[in-house]
Amino acid sequence: MSRVILAALFAAALAAAGPAEWVPLRWEGGPLEVRRRAQPDFEAASPIASELLLQAYQPDSLDLFNDTPFNCLLLTWSLGEPTDDDAEQRSLAAALARRAQQRGVAAMAVIEPGSAWIEALEAAAEASFDGVVLDGDFSAEQVQQAADVLAGRGALVALGDWRRTLALREPAVIGPRDGIWPMLFTAEDESDTFQSGPTTNPWVLSNGWRVAAVRAGAAGRPVWAGHRPKRYRDQPFSATDYVRAVADTAMAGGRWAVALDGEWQAGLLNGDEEKLEGWRRIAAAAAFFEQHAAWREIPPQPAVVVALDPDQPDVFSHADTLNLLAVRHVPHRVVLRPELSRQGLPKGLHGLTFDHEPSDDEATAIDTLIQSGGTLFTGPRWGRAGVSLGIPKAALGAGGLMAYPSEKFEEDQFATDLRKRLDESGSTIRIFNTGTLMSFYTEQGDRGVLHITEYSDYPTDNVTVRFPRKIAKAVWTTLEGDEEELEVYDTDGGGEIVIPETSWYCAVTIDFLQP
């Protein structure tokens, strides 16, 4: 079945869905977007003519979403501060929202921080929207205020700083807005924002770790990634760039709120055939992940749990550390400290990063981990506090302790040490010849799913994956619709597969033999 047909089928199936089934897309337009782009500090990924931004909010533009899985449009409603264009913008956006809803497509009013945000929220609640997106760094108190205003009148979505967002409980959907454009970043792209680091050159930019971290606080709610295209080199975005951006978020269990740069939006509105064909590829990629939505329900298979306290950041839950764990292909799961106290640690865990003063329940969980052979990784706080935080107790048993007491914590050294320790233990999957790809592994019972996204235009080949369990069957699936049962090689106590060359993304579903 072709990717285009799949996209059409899922568009019909997802019509009139709720927040759990919404597949979001930013559709920017109207006079407020013209005003935004006229500001001297606005950095556009690529320009778009003002008349096309106005055309974007005409009813005919909705034809672009026919036969796609995008069933939730994010429409510009307020830039946060009052402007002379607000009345016209709201009239256009509300009218477009009503037309979208007649087609079975949800419409959300996007509101940014500023002095007029609450007035804009109240106006959106009175309009015909399915809900509101708070797009930016709103305080927890403001999010609660928004939830009170919207109660019974629409869904609330909060996109903001990843660490603040994961602590929110009121929104129906949460997600990081502070993501990056996924790509391969080379030494030629050096900037004040990113630099090629010690782990690899070139450097893979990915949002998977952010999405996975926010999902730790989502309690089953959908997670959207709200970043926009950002150009780091002087070349236009390709359809493949957008397909990669969809996969980058989806492999970690989230949905990217697809946002088009000016050149692509203009091309679609002008009926450019090349852009329309690329648009069908982007839609088909999003539809692929909706077809396999059950994969989102399989939890990350953690060799290591990272204990995160949103109110007390530590070196292990720092953005650089979590990013480097992903770069090093360390299977890990972020767990919020309250969940750690209530539910304890997952079975089969190799290690725990913990740099807080433990509660009694946490101390019990740590002790259980050590007694069963696991490793506790501690940081500068434990190094300062010494025995008062229970290190002698934790050092007993069959397990171990690895302390990083220096205030000059080196994220790369920690990630390297952890990967080496896991390799020596043979307790988790190991990927060889990772090249320019990123991976995300989930497992539940006798089923595992390995996601791989390629960030180079030259695919990595001869990728070998070793599992610590015997494999009954392994099936390789790509965005292009290819599917192949892979040959399985037995290893000492486990199994091994070789993944065929993959252009942009693939998933390998693993059925393990029962012990």
| Mean pLDDT of the chain, nearest integer | 88
- The whole-number average pLDDT for the span 78-94 is 97
**At 17, is the pLDDT very low, low, confident or very high (cuts 50, 70, 90)?**
confident
Looking at residue 439, what is its pLDDT? 95
- The whole-number average pLDDT for the span 35-43 is 89
Write down the CATH number for the domain with range 3-180+207-293.
Answer: 3.20.20.60
Structure-token pair, residue 30: 């109207």
Is the pLDDT higher at 470 or at 230?
A: 470
Contacts of 209 (CB under 8 A, 6+ apart): 252, 322, 323, 325, 326
Go through 401-440 and write b for each residue having 16 or more CB atoms within 10 A of its CB, e for each that does not. Answer: eeebeeeebbbbebbbebbebbeeeebbbbbeebbbbbbb
Looking at residue 253, what is its pLDDT? 97
Looking at residue 426, what is its pLDDT? 83
Looking at residue 302, what is its pLDDT? 81
* Multiple choice CATH, 304-425, 3.40.50, 3.40.720, 1.10.10, 3.30.70: 3.40.50
Looking at residue 98, what is its pLDDT? 97
- The whole-number average pLDDT for the span 335-348 is 81
Looking at residue 287, what is its pLDDT? 97
Looking at residue 199, what is its pLDDT? 41
Task: Please determine, for residue 388, whether its predicted confidence score (pLDDT) is greater than 70.
Answer: no
- The whole-number average pLDDT for the span 41-70 is 94
Task: Please determine, for residue 123, whether its predicted confidence score (pLDDT) is greater than 90.
Answer: yes
Task: Please determine, for residue 200, whether its predicted confidence score (pLDDT) is greater than 60.
Answer: no
Looking at residue 395, what is its pLDDT? 44
- The whole-number average pLDDT for the span 444-470 is 93
Task: Please determine, for residue 13, whether its predicted confidence score (pLDDT) is greater than 90.
Answer: no
Percent of the chain at pLDDT > 70 equals: 90
Structure-token pair, residue 190: 């050096």
**At 188, is the pLDDT very low, low, confident or very high (cuts 50, 70, 90)?**
low
Task: Please determine, for residue 459, whether its predicted confidence score (pLDDT) is greater than 70.
Answer: yes
**At 398, is the pLDDT very low, low, confident or very high (cuts 50, 70, 90)?**
low
Q: Cβ distance 357 to 389 under 8 Å?
A: yes
- The whole-number average pLDDT for the span 176-205 is 67
Q: What count of residues does the chain have?
A: 515
Write down the CATH number for the domain with range 430-512.
Answer: 2.60.40.1180
Q: What is the rounded radius of gyration, in angstroms, for the C-alpha atoms of the chain?
A: 23
Task: Please determine, for residue 457, whether its predicted confidence score (pLDDT) is greater than 60.
Answer: yes
Q: Cβ distance 493 to 468 under 8 Å?
A: yes
Is the pLDDT higher at 481 or at 407?
A: 481
Is the pLDDT higher at 396 or at 328?
A: 328
Task: Please determine, for residue 380, whether its predicted confidence score (pLDDT) is greater than 90.
Answer: no
Task: Please determine, for residue 450, whether its predicted confidence score (pLDDT) is greater than 90.
Answer: yes
Structure-token pair, residue 355: 């740099």
Go through 222-246 and write b for each residue having 16 or more CB atoms within 10 A of its CB, e for each that does not. Answer: bbbbbbbbeebeeeebebbbbbbbb
C-alpha span between 162 and 139 (Å, rounded): 13
- The whole-number average pLDDT for the span 383-387 is 47
Go through 327-366 and write b for each residue having 16 or more CB atoms within 10 A of its CB, e for each that does not. Answer: bbbbbbbbbbbeebbeebbeeebbbbbbbbebeeebeebb
Looking at residue 192, what is its pLDDT? 46
- The whole-number average pLDDT for the span 301-309 is 88
Task: Please determine, for residue 239, whether its predicted confidence score (pLDDT) is greater than 60.
Answer: yes
pLDDT tens figures, 244-269:
999 999 999 999 999 999 999 999 99
Amino acid at 489: Y
For the chain, domain boundaries: 3-180+207-293, 304-425, 430-512
Looking at residue 128, what is its pLDDT? 86
Looking at residue 203, what is its pLDDT? 80
